[in-house]
Chains A and B, each alone.
Chain A
Amino acid sequence: MLNFIDARCQLGRRGIVREGEPVTKSDILELMDRCSIEKAIAYHAMAKEGDMKAGNDLLLQETEGDERFIRQWCAMPSTFGEFMGAEELAEQMKKHHVSSIRLFPKTHGYSVKPYAMGKFMDVMAQCHVPVFLTYAECGSEDNLYSLLSSYPEVNFIISDASYRENRKLFPLMEQCKNLLLGTGNFVVHGGVKLICDYFGAERMIFDTGLPMGSATAAVALICYAEISEEEKQLIAHGNIERLLADVKL
């Protein structure tokens, strides 16, 4: 049976909760158990929606001693003293066993162009830290291309590309080998097989977007894909394990 590592999970209190939606860590763990998800890479809602530093601290508390969650911090390119600089970030990540970062350029109001990302990305590249963000957070395909092509050594996991994006997404995947697609909401008809055929199973990383996204849907999308067992294993956990094993903090 396939075991999954979820590369996109959010812990903590968020502003909006729909009726019946998972809220607490135990709600999320129940879904992970139900869906054969062994571990999840998690960031904290507070770090996205409220206060980045406080949210990253809360993440450490919430995941203390909990082997089901792999720590991810939200970050931003240090802009004039607002957030720690890239070197300090790398040190703190090492100290607290945080192995990846998630960016929200649109929500947090900064540019992903090289003039703004500058040294921050150079440090992430030196440390082999995988960088996660959603398609919508990049603002546009051209922004995404600029980011990915400026930092070819950084592995970017881009998630939440909808079923309507192939005409923009596929040329990006062809040009930028450092683009790995988060599978969660990529519900193109036969889309998982299409990506395997065009670009290889190495280019996909399983994710759910829990608790707002659907783990039951994300798991079925991979299980029912018309690809080999080996390809499923890579997407479900192999690719992300390889990236995390390569982190040099």
Chain B
Amino acid sequence: MDLKEYVFLGKELKDTYVVDVHIHVGGSTRYQKPGNDADSVVYTMDRVGVDVVCASCSPGAYCDWKWGNEMCADAHEKYPDRIKAYAVVNPHYTFDLDAYFANSDRFLGLKVIPFVQGTLPIDCPGLQPYYEYADKYGLPVLFHAWMASEVKDATAVAKRYPNARFIFGHSGFTAFEESVAACKQCDNVLLDTTISDTYDGALERLVNAVGVDRVAFGTDLTAFECSHILGRILLSRLSDTDKEKILGLNAKQFLKL
């Protein structure tokens, strides 16, 4: 069965390995975020056929990182094969990352989103120790990379820390030129497909520009749905082989899952 047929049947992707590199657990005071707990996430994963998600905690990004990171690690511990956890870091605080990563697989990598922490730049001094740590241990780092300036900063970080692996969230659709430049300059960069709203043809344009190996499925679940982004991939003009790379194979390799 063609991958696109799954959409019309509303059928979960049973025989395709699917990894969502960018989701969120936890609520929001800013807007209603239904089904943001670990059980609801796994329920949705089963509904559409996602094997693994990589999650950070939204309230942990905005304020209490300690509470948020524990919540995220708990989600991983409840569903160790389905939910992987990013630890949110915050440039206003000092983190003992050994407490998170040494001799433990509670966390997969780091989530960096200084945009909601006083709109500090991604390349700010307060974050350098965490990039150094990621570089030393080859950890993945998920950036919130929306604006062109954020993507330029993220590119500078990716160049400086070549042993760390960086996922640029959103940027392939919001800062196209800068994202293409990042992929050309840095082998350790992957772009995700996370976007609430874009046009048909945007994904094909991105894949043509950076190559299919540099794009991975990401959705922002539970900040919003995941099925519409799945639809953009499954009903795109790409081949099923390319769709499978984006849906899971690229992330599997990049994140060493």
Contacts and interface: CB of A to CB of B under 8 A. Distances in A.
Interface of A: 1-2, 18-22, 31, 34-36, 162-167, 185, 187-191, 194, 210-221, 223-226, 232
A219 B200 contact: no
Given A19-B201, A187-B224, A216-B235, 6 more contacts: A19-B176, A189-B224, A190-B34, A194-B34, A213-B199, A224-B7
A223 B31 contact: no
Contact of A190 (B223, B225, B229): B225
Given A163-B224, A221-B225, A21 B232 contact: no
Interface of B: 4, 7-10, 30-36, 40, 44, 47-48, 176, 196-202, 204-205, 221-232, 234-236
A228 to B, nearest CB: 11
A214 B197 CA distance: 8
Nearest to A36: B8
Given A20-B204, A189-B33, A191-B34, A221 B199 contact: no
Nearest to B8: A1
A-B interface, 8 closest residue pairs, ranked by CB to CB distance from nearest: A220-B231, A20-B201, A224-B227, A216-B235, A217-B228, A20-B205, A166-B32, A163-B224
Given A19-B205, A217-B229, A224-B47, A164 B199 contact: no
Given A190-B44, A221-B225, A223-B9, A185 B197 contact: yes
Contacts of A211: 199-200
Contacts of B8: 1-2, 36, 219, 223
B194 to A, nearest CB: 12
Nearest to B198: A214
Contacts of B196: 162-163, 185, 187
B31 A189 contact: no
Contacts, number: 131
Q: Is the interface of A mostly helix, strand, loop or mixed?
A: loop
B225 A191 contact: yes
A220 B230 contact: yes
A219 B221 contact: no
Contacts of B226: 189
Given A189-B34, A190-B35, A220 B227 contact: yes
A187 B222 CA distance: 10
A140 B158 CA distance: 42
Contacts of A18: 199, 202
Contacts of A20: 199, 201-202, 204-205
B7 A214 contact: no
Nearest to B227: A224
13 contacts: A2-B8, A22-B199, A31-B200, A162-B196, A163-B224, A188-B34, A189-B34, A189-B221, A213-B199, A216-B200, A216-B234, A217-B232, A225-B10
A217 B35 contact: no
Contacts of B227: 220-221, 223-225
A163 to B, nearest CB: 4
A171 B213 CA distance: 45
Which of A164, A167, A213 gathers the greatest number of chain B CB atoms within 10 Å? Answer: A164
A167 B228 contact: no
Contacts of A217: 200, 228-229, 231-232
A223 B225 contact: no
Contacts of A212: 199
Contact of B224 (A36, A188, A215, A219): A188
Contacts of A187: 196-197, 224-225, 228
A221 B228 contact: yes
Contacts of B199: 18, 20-22, 211-214
B48 A224 contact: yes
Contacts of B221: 189
Contact of A226 (B30, B47, B234): B47
Contacts of B198: 214
B200 A167 contact: no
A163 B229 contact: no
Contacts of B228: 187, 214, 217-218, 220-221
Contacts of A185: 196-197
Contacts of B34: 188-191, 194
Nearest to B206: A20
A215 B200 contact: yes
A188 B236 CA distance: 22
Which residue among B47, B200, B202, B204 has the maximum number of chain A CB atoms within 10 Å of its CB? B200
A6 to B, nearest CB: 12
Contact of A166 (B31, B35, B234): B31
